[in-house]
């Protein structure tokens, strides 16, 4: 999750353009908590994010990558 957050930071506005339905500000923010606020991490909440939030994120990113590949052809 920390790496996803870091990648989202590096993508910047491109992330919003490619996958507008994703709450990118929250994706970026969770990385700060994971990196710097260890005592505030709720492992139950992290697990809920893995189960509920990662599948839609993965689907959106896969669709964006497919669209980019098709537009490059």
What is the pTM (predicted TM-score) of this model? 0.85
- Please work out, in degrees rounded to the nearest 5, the angle formed at the alpha carbon of residue 9 by the alpha carbons of 59 and 30: 75
pLDDT, one tens digit per residue, over 18-64 is 999 999 999 999 999 999 998 889 999 999 999 999 999 999 999 99
Cα first-last separation, the chain: 32
CA distance 61 to 50: 15
pLDDT in the model for residue 32: 92
Helix (H, G, I), strand (E, B), or coil: what is residue 15? Answer: helix
Q: Is the pLDDT of residue 7 over 90?
A: yes
Question: What average pLDDT does the segment 4-27 reach?
Answer: 95
The alpha carbon of residue 64 and the mean position of all alpha carbons in its chain are separated, in whole angstroms, by: 13
pLDDT in the model for residue 73: 85
pLDDT in the model for residue 38: 82
């Amino acid at each position: 999750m920390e790496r996803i957050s870091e990648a989202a930071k590096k993508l910047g506005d491109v992330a919003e353009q490619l996958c507008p339905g994703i709450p990118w500000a929250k994706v970026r923010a969770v990385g700060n908590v994971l990196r710097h606020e260890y005592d505030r991490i709720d492992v139950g909440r992290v697990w809920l994010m893995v189960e509920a939030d990662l599948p839609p994120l993965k689907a959106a990113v896969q669709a964006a990558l497919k669209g980019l590949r098709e537009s490059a052809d």
